[in-house]
């Protein structure tokens, strides 16, 4: 099985058990205004926050009339959920592109995930803001819960499998447990890096963030990771 094919299969497996329908059931003629509303909603959330994102604000940005939200989404809440779905798709598309390009061995998949999540395509002000806003609004819009859950589960499956791949080679007897622990360690670090970036994007040093993550990885698994992992990131 070729490298690319293996990675694609891997991704599909991760997505299978997420339970989220990522398909869009709109016909082309409807897509213009519908998509404009989603785009405007995301832009508004990013710019002024979900609290201040009102129906009036959204339709003004989208340049459509008041009734469009009711026609396409039957209400504001469904529009917010659709915007969350679009943001999640955006995240996965970027990540998938990185994973498919990387070699299938665990260490390279992990490396690709980190470099994606800290690189200029995966880690942007827009993405961190929309993600944080939507996560914070889970309480107000329970339907949003599935999106953060899905992302967490996807990343966890991906990293646990990758680390298991590595620990299997090391012959470590507690490999399964170690893989789960390392997965949590790395994912929590990435989570924290996203917070740091969102709060202080101007001071955030991507290369240093990557270096820190790889230093931890190199400490625990010196044969599989080293500080050169962070080097790739500037490419």
List residues near its own copies by CB under 8 A.
Answer: 48-52, 129, 132-133, 135-140, 148-149, 152, 181, 184-185, 187-193, 195-196, 199, 208-209, 211-213, 215-216, 219-220
| 71 makes contact with DNA (CB under 7 A) | yes
Whether 214 contacts 114, CB under 8 Å: yes
What's the sign of the alpha-carbon dihedral 108, 11, 156, 130? positive
| 145 makes contact with DNA (CB under 7 A) | no
Interface mask toward DNA for 12-51; x: CB under 7 A:
---------------x-xx-xxx-----------------
32 phi and psi, to 5 degrees?
Answer: -60, -60
- Comparing CB distances to its own copies, the nearer of 102 and 213 is 213
| 120 makes contact with DNA (CB under 7 A) | no
Selection from DNA, its own copies, none that 66 binds (CB < 5 to 8 A by kind) is DNA
Q: In the structure encoding, which two tokens stand for residue 173, read together?
A: 């007897």
| 75 makes contact with DNA (CB under 7 A) | yes
Selection from its own copies, DNA, none that 132 binds (CB < 5 to 8 A by kind) is its own copies
Which residue reads 């966890």 in tokens?
A: 156
Q: In the structure encoding, which two tokens stand for residue 113, read together?
A: 């995930």
The minimum distance between CB 149 and DNA, in angstroms, equals 24
Which CA distances in Å does 82 have to 123, 177, 189?
21, 37, 28
CA distance 132 to 153: 17
DSSP SS3 for 179: helix
The minimum distance between CB 128 and DNA, in angstroms, equals 23
CA distance 208 to 216: 12
| 69 makes contact with DNA (CB under 7 A) | yes
The minimum distance between CB 145 and DNA, in angstroms, equals 19
207 phi and psi, to 5 degrees?
Answer: -65, -40
Give the binding site for DNA (CB under 7 A).
27, 29-30, 32-34, 53-57, 64-72, 74-77
């Amino acid at each position: 099985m070729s490298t690319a094919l293996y990675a694609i299969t891997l991704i599909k497996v991760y997505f299978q058990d997420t339970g989220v329908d990522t398909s869009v059931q709109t016909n082309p003629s409807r897509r213009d205004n519908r998509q404009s509303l989603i785009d405007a909603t995301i832009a508004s959330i990013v710019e002024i926050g979900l609290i201040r994102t009102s129906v009036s604000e959204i339709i003004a940005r989208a340049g459509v009339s008041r009734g469009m939200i009711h026609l396409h989404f039957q209400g504001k809440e469904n529009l917010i959920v659709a915007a969350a779905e679009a943001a999640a798709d955006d995240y996965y598309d970027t990540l998938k592109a990185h994973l498919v390009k990387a070699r299938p061995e665990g260490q390279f998949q992990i490396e690709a995930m980190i470099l994606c999540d800290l690189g200029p395509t995966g880690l942007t002000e827009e993405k961190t803001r929309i993600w944080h806003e939507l996560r914070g609004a889970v309480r107000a819009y329970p339907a949003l819960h599935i999106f953060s859950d899905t992302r967490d589960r996807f990343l966890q499956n991906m990293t646990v499998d990758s680390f298991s791949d590595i620990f299997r080679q090391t012959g470590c007897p507690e490999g399964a447990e170690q893989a789960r622990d390392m997965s949590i360690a790395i994912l929590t670090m990435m989570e924290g890096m996203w917070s740091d970036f969102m709060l202080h994007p101007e001071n955030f040093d991507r290369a240093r963030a990557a270096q820190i993550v790889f230093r931890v990885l190199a400490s625990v698994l010196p044969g599989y990771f080293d500080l050169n992992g962070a080097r790739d990131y500037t490419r």
